Amino acid sequence: MAIYVDAAIWKWAGHRWCHLLADEIEELHGFAAQLGVKRSSYQGPPKTSAPHYDITGFERDRAVRLGAIECSREEIVAVFRRVRVKNGKVRI
């Protein structure tokens, strides 16, 4: 089991953001709590098909220091596909 982060390239609200994913949902929540990321920041079904947190570049740096695996765009997409919940996203 592992925690993964991609590059903080997504600009929003004056920050650069990235994705935090994990092999197991409990591990994802535990790691996010260790980073000090609020549970209300969690994104998962039914709004998105892959359980994840969007975190800032600052939080990403801390996540890497705590053991998160840095991923390229291709690698994070592969993780996203592996952990996604089939039929988890609800279309409105």
pLDDT at 92: 45
pLDDT block averages, 10 residues each, the chain of length 92: 89 88 94 94 87 94 96 92 75 46
State the DSSP string of 60-79.
HHHHHHTTPEE--HHHHHHH
pLDDT at 89: 58
pTM above 0.95, yes or no: no
d(Cα 29, Cα 59) in Å, to the nearest integer? 14
pLDDT at 46: 82
